[in-house]
Structure 1
Amino acid sequence: MRGEIFRTVDDYVAAQSPALREKLETIRHIIFKAVPGVEEKISYGMPGYQYKGVLIYFGLAQKHIGLYAMPSAIEAFKKELKPYDTSKGTIRFPLDKPLPKKLIADIVKFRKKRNELKHASKPR
């Protein structure tokens, strides 16, 4: 994966093994379901999503899928994220464990709401 350049998220996902493709497609599905109208693109070499600003990113690493959800989401879901390795704005879901689908959906919805509030407070 490192060093490969993908033009689309479809290309990024298609380059993975079937088991990894399934996990990545699950995350994509969760994002699209939680945020109708979200824009998807490759940014920083990984799938990125825009909705009234930066929404979320995810990326595949050797032993985990990183969900880049911004520091506010890490703080808001601190209790739920205890079983996972986290850093300032990143959550690492181990590849050998099932994805916590509801938690991912809740985080995406949280980010959506944050972006909506930020967007609404900007002067027109």
Structure 2
Amino acid sequence: MWKCPKCGKEFKNMNQNHYCGEKPKTVEEYIMRQDEEKQADLFLIRQTLQQALPEAEERISWSMPTYWKKHNILHFAVSKKHIGFYPGPEAVKAFKEELKNYSVDKGTIRIPYGEVDAELIKRIARWCLDTGNHA
């Protein structure tokens, strides 16, 4: 077991990412709490999603930035080596060819830091909204 020296929470994994204290209430607060070197990519994804989904509401859901319109459309979250982008399993299938250079899993796209493809994210986000397929 590992105990966070800041908040005292105990975890199974060493140095596990978590929120010490109160969880963020906004997407901007979520991003500002991350390591400085990761913030530019996170702000780029946020800006891209705001442009692609202007009618969607930004919120924090499951401790992740989430875009919502009558249901969760998609989420993203920081990880140590990548940004987890969560558009749902149908989106990963639909964009399979465009995602061949990414590590993907059921409903998850892992975007390495420094390699954010804003146009691809925009297309995936619009597809999720337009088709009703979502995270």
Shared fold per TM-score greater than 0.5? yes
- TM-score normalised by structure 1 residue count: 0.86
- TM-score normalised by structure 2 residue count: 0.79
Aligned to 2:99: 81
Aligned to 2:74: 56
Aligned to 2:131: 114
User: Which of 50, 57, 60 is matched with 1:32 structurally?
Assistant: 50
Structure 1 position 102 matched with structure 2 position 115 = no
1:92 partner SS: strand
Unpaired runs of 5+ in structure 2? 1-15
Distance in 2, matches of 1:51 and 1:92, equals: 24
Give 1:2 deviation, angstroms. Answer: 2.3
Aligned to 1:121: none
The code of the aligned residue for 1:83 comes to N
Higher helix share: 1
Paired positions, count: 116
User: Which of 18, 37, 41 is matched with 2:36 structurally?
Assistant: 18
1:2 partner SS: coil
2:34 partner SS: coil
Structure number, greater radius of gyration: 2
Q: Percent identity?
A: 36
Aligned to 1:47: 65
Give 1:63 deviation, angstroms. Answer: 0.3
Distance in 2, matches of 1:57 and 1:109, equals: 13
Give 1:17 deviation, angstroms. Answer: 3.0
- CA RMSD, Structure 1 to Structure 2 (Å): 1.8
Give 1:7 deviation, angstroms. Answer: 1.9
